[in-house]
Structure 1
Amino acid sequence: MRVHIGSDHAGLELKAHLLARLTELGHEPVDHGPFVYDALDDYPVFCLRAAAAVVRDQEAGVEALGIVVGGSGNGEQIAANKVPGVRSALAWSDETASLAREHNDANVISVGGRMHTLEDMTRFVEIFLATPFSGDERHVRRIGMLADYESTGTLPPLPESAQGLGPDA
């Protein structure tokens, strides 16, 4: 599988480790930078490129996922999620890494290089890459709602139980 990776200076060491580990596992890692340490670099420059490459590959029929890495992973996840077609999940445990794929069919994982041990973060990434999407109807329906909103800007209809309640009433 092709795996696109982008980070910032805080994720540079983890990114280098992951590039080597992914190669060992038989994946095709693609490094979107940064390529040198710069404490003032801007994560959107690299994370947007990695996320956009995942979408391009998937649209072309190439099996691809992505990894974005920063100090906390928060900003990197936000950046990746700005790319149409990306569902990026912040993983902080084995379970969140697995559920990101299983329930949300996430195509990008975000991890915080300053939040966990190297071993934990590597395991989160490996779990994410190895976990398939469940394909359960409820998850497909929910992902469809998100994709529809992303393309049209129209909110999904409220369920009957919520009709006349709340600010949309």
Structure 2
Amino acid sequence: MKIAIGNDHAGPDYKFAIVAYLKEQGHEVTNYGTDTLDSVDYPDFANPVAKAVDDGEVPFGILICGSANGVAMTANKYPKVRAAICWNQEIVALSRQHNDANILCIPARFTSIPQAVKMVQTFLKTEFEGGRHQNRVDKITCS
């Protein structure tokens, strides 16, 4: 599967660990994030990931910044994106099961790298439940 990943200066180490895991699992990863700790603007990295998901180039994206708020706010401007801020596996599972999230937003300042990798595992293996949740998801987009 193709997956897009992006991060600001709070997330290079997280990204490196996640990309290594994804490649071990046979996924193709497009890196839109920075590889350094130099201060950057998170929209510059969130926008290409969200666009790739919105355009259908990839089914899933992963975004990492300090709180995950900035990248989630940016990504959720795209009509077909459902970006979820998650800080533990239970929230990740619910974001997929109930909200059909297609971008996982990880707050690097509030999770560890091993936690983040486990969240990615959960994100990719958890299916959307559909049913009563589909009606709700259909109401998300305003445009």
| 1:99 is aligned to 2:94 | yes
Q: Aligned-pair distance for 1:37?
A: 3.2
SS at match of 2:56: helix
Residue correspondence of structure 1 range 26-105 to structure 2 within 5 A: 26-39=26-39, 41-57=40-56, 64-105=59-100
Tell me the equivalent position of 2:138. Answer: 144
- Partners of 1:36 and 1:120 lie apart in 2 by 21
SS at match of 1:105: coil
Structure 2: gaps of 5 or more residues: none
Task: Kindly provide the amino acid, as one letter, of the partner of residue 131 in structure 1.
Answer: T
Larger Rg, first or second structure (1 or 2)? 1
- Partners of 1:111 and 1:33 lie apart in 2 by 13
CA distances 1:18-65 after superposition (whole Å, capped 9, x unpaired): 1111000111111012233322x000000111111012126xxx6x20
Q: Aligned residue pairs: how many? A: 143
Tell me the equivalent position of 1:17. Answer: 17
- Partners of 2:33 and 2:114 lie apart in 1 by 22
Tell me the equivalent position of 1:162. Answer: none
SS at match of 1:10: coil
Out of 123, 129, 135, the position equivalent to 2:130 is 135
Structure 1: gaps of 5 or more residues: 152-169
- Partners of 2:120 and 2:75 lie apart in 1 by 16
- Partners of 2:134 and 2:80 lie apart in 1 by 14
Task: Kindly provide the amino acid, as one letter, of the partner of residue 50 in structure 2.
Answer: A
- Partners of 2:24 and 2:3 lie apart in 1 by 13
Task: Kindly provide the amino acid, as one letter, of the partner of residue 102 in structure 1.
Answer: Q
- Partners of 1:65 and 1:26 lie apart in 2 by 15
Is this contact kept in 1: 2:18–2:116, CA < 8 A? no
- Which has the higher relative contact order, 1 or 2, with Cα contacts under 8 A spaced 6 or more apart? 2
SS at match of 1:110: strand
